């Protein structure tokens, strides 16, 4: 048997540490091992991890709009709806739009798209919350920045139906944001063109 130089208790701790890192999205066993071994060998990284945890605990997701806010604090996004509420599937879409700087209203993050086969149902998304926000701000424009895919179209149609009785201007961007694309990959032109060519929906 090859000895790794660890006593059984510490061996279990290291294995558990690797398992914890593996819980993060996109982290393979190999990456998890690399992160765990780096952490074990670096006091500065341990401090970083403690800081990351404290920062993450200071922020929560607003139940109404899905944006981040200070724990127990007011939601700046809900408090300042602006003339337009931009509806996106995920927080990464909002990040992409904010980075390009082509939109100065507020956001509404659905938390996904309607995809019954993946068990992503309307009641699991922040669609009821969107209706409440729309009702609280009569005359507001609701701009759908959703992907032009089966799920994106189904979600857009569902929202159109839900907001039918509300006094809102419903519009949709000209081109969908590429679904599931990391925000740093979506180029400036794609996002700004999509926003400049929005249409009444």
- Please report where in the chains the tokens 């604090």 appear, as a residue: 73
* Contact pick of 32, 36, 77, 81 for Zn ion (by CB under 5 A): 77
Under the criterion CB under 5 A, does residue 84 sit at the interface with Zn ion? no
Beta-strand relationship, 106-109 and 84-88: parallel
Stretch of 22-30, 72-80, 81-89, 174-182 contacting Zn ion, by CB under 5 A = 72-80
* Site membership for Zn ion, residue 75 (CB under 5 A): yes
First to last CA, the chain: 67
Tokens of 184: 């740093």
Instruction: From 25-33, 55-63, 145-153, 185-193, give the range in contact with Zn ion by CB under 5 A.
Output: 55-63
Q: Which of 18, 32, 36, 62 binds Zn ion (CB under 5 A)?
A: 62
Q: What is the 3-state secondary structure (H, E, C) of 128-148?
A: HHHHHHHHHCCCCEEEECCCC
CB of 161 to Zn ion, least distance (A): 23
Q: How far is the CB of 11 from Zn ion (least distance, A)?
A: 46
Q: Is 78 in the site for Zn ion (CB under 5 A)?
A: yes
Is 65 a residue that touches Zn ion (CB under 5 A)? yes
Q: What does each C-alpha distance from 192 to 33, 179, 197 come to in angstroms?
A: 40, 16, 9
Closer of 65 and 156 to Zn ion (Cβ)? 65
**Residue 134 lies near Zn ion (rule: CB under 5 A):** no
106 binds Zn ion, rule: CB under 5 A? no
| The dihedral sign for the CA sequence 88, 92, 95, 99 | negative
Tokens of 187: 């180029």
Task: Give the orientation angle of helix 150-162 with respect to helix 127-136, to 10 degrees.
Answer: 40
Which one of the spans 51-59, 69-77, 93-101, 169-177 is the region binding Zn ion (CB under 5 A)?
69-77
Distance separating alpha carbons of residues 55 and 51, to the nearest angstrom: 6
The piece of 16-24, 73-81, 114-122, 161-169 that touches Zn ion (CB under 5 A) is 73-81
85 binds Zn ion (CB under 5 A): no
Cβ-based nearer residue to Zn ion, 75 or 173: 75
Interatomic CA distance for residues 102 and 97, integer angstroms: 7
Which residues would be at the binding site for Zn ion (CB under 5 A)?
A: 62, 64-65, 75, 77-78
């Amino acid at each position: 048997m090859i000895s790794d130089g660890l006593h059984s208790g510490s061996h279990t701790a290291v294995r558990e540490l690797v398992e914890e890192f593996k819980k993060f999205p996109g982290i393979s066993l190999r990456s998890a091992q690399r992160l765990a071994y780096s952490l074990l060998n670096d006091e500065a990284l341990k401090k970083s991890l403690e800081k990351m945890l404290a920062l993450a605990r200071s922020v929560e997701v607003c139940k109404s709009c899905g944006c981040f806010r200070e724990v127990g604090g007011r939601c700046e996004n809900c408090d300042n709806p602006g003339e337009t509420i931009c509806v996106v599937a995920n927080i990464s879409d909002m990040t992409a739009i904010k980075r390009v700087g082509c939109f100065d209203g507020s956001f509404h993050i659905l938390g996904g798209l309607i995809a019954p086969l993946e068990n992503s149902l309307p009641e699991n998304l922040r669609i009821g919350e969107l209706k409440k926000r729309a009702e609280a701000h009569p005359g507001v424009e609701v701009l759908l920045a959703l992907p032009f895919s089966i799920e994106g179209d189904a979600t857009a149609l569902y929202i159109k139906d839900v907001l039918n009785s509300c006094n809102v201007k419903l519009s949709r961007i000209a081109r969908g944001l590429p679904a599931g694309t990391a925000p740093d990959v979506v180029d400036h032109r794609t996002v700004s063109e999509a926003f400049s060519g929005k249409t009444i929906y």
